[in-house]
Amino acid sequence: MGSHRRRLAHSGFDRGACAALSALSVAAAALGAVPAGSAVAAPQGDARAEVDRLYEEAEKATEAYNKADERADALHRQVSDSQDLIARQQERVNTMRDALGSLAGAQYRSGGIDPAVALLFSADPDDYLDKASVLDRITAHQAGQLHELQGALRELAQERAEATRQLAELERSRAAVARHKKTVEHKLAKARQLLNSLPATERAAYERISRTGRTDLPELGGAGPASERAAAAVAAARAALGRPYVWGANGPSGFDCSGLMQWAYARAGVHLPRTSQEQRFAGHQVPLSQARPGDLVVYRSDASHVGMYVGNGRVIHAPYPGAPVRYDPVGMMPISSVTRV
């Protein structure tokens, strides 16, 4: 996925698309409701607080964008499935129509006259009645099948029209998220400019503070990974150390926070959801005091950041633009939950 986004085909798909649209619309609306100027509301000179706010706001926008992108991919697959289904049913209808057309032609050629008159002139009335009875049964059966297929096609056509409308709504929601993300990127660039204008000692101080863990955390045990898949995920995450933070990327050349977790666990044969909010519920939650390597540590009350616990009071994570995948103290920011996959 990374920074390369696929364009969606604006065609129909089944009504399975409906379920996630409202959540995405709410997410986009919530992001759109944040005034652009609020990201730089910090007093001048308080560069560190300003950058922290910008990073947090950008991460929320990125996770919402990731969610929209994941749903768009799912909807795109549903479009293809529905189009295949419609094509197959249309082919069946065409076959039935051909058969019914041939039957109607045969009826006409036999003389589209009143059955009583046909019976009067028939050389073998019993044979005529037998054939007429069979013909009626065939016609009724074929007509019933056609009626059933036409009803199914009408329903599919309605679903396709509704789904097309919903796809347009999804695109609008996704565009709103993308616009907000672009705004935050612009603010981040300004904040980066501000940091770069500060003396080297102040820039170094910001980096030190951003990597300082809390000292009031419970004592963490020294147990190893809880499973083979957790051990494999830790190994994969360690292999990504030093790779850059990239918006919306899930590897292998760059990552955002949830993208790194998804990629690392995929190397272990486990599919994780795309966003940190969903990854929070991708297993069962354990107390921080029982954290083991491979557990996902989710941060902030809105679960907008995630890292992987690796032992010794540290996590591996993709921090923010300009900072590569690295180790940091597990208590680097408020912890929301710990999830064992």
> Is position 10 within any domain?
no
253 and 152: one domain?
no
Query: Of the residues 10, 186, 271, 317, which is catalytic?
Result: 317
Kindly give the pairing relationship between strand 326-329 and strand 314-317: antiparallel
Is 147 an active-site residue?
A: no
Query: Of the residues 18, 76, 271, 305, which is catalytic?
Result: 305
Q: Mind listing the pLDDT tens digit of every residue in the chain (341 residues)?
A: 433 333 333 333 333 333 333 333 333 333 333 333 333 333 334 777 777 788 888 888 888 888 888 887 777 777 777 777 777 777 766 776 676 566 556 555 555 545 554 554 456 666 656 666 655 665 666 566 567 666 766 776 777 777 787 777 777 777 877 776 787 677 778 777 877 877 788 777 777 777 777 777 888 878 899 999 999 999 999 999 999 999 889 999 999 999 999 999 999 999 999 999 999 999 999 999 999 999 999 999 999 999 999 999 999 999 988 889 999 999 999 999 999 99
CATH number for the domain including 243? 3.90.1720.10
194 and 45: one domain?
yes
> Is position 6 within any domain?
no
Per-residue tokens: 143: 């007509």
76 and 150: one domain?
yes
186 and 253: one domain?
no
Please tell me the pTM assigned to this model. 0.66
Burial 141-159 (b: 16+ CB within 10 A, else e): ebeeebeebeeeeeebeeb
Is 271 an active-site residue?
A: no
Cross-strand bridge partners of residue 285? 339
| Residue 236 domain boundaries | 219-340
- How many domains would you assign to the chain? 2
Query: Of the residues 76, 147, 186, 257, which is catalytic?
Result: 257
185 and 312: one domain?
no
Distance CA 278, CA 290 (A): 21
Is 18 an active-site residue?
A: no
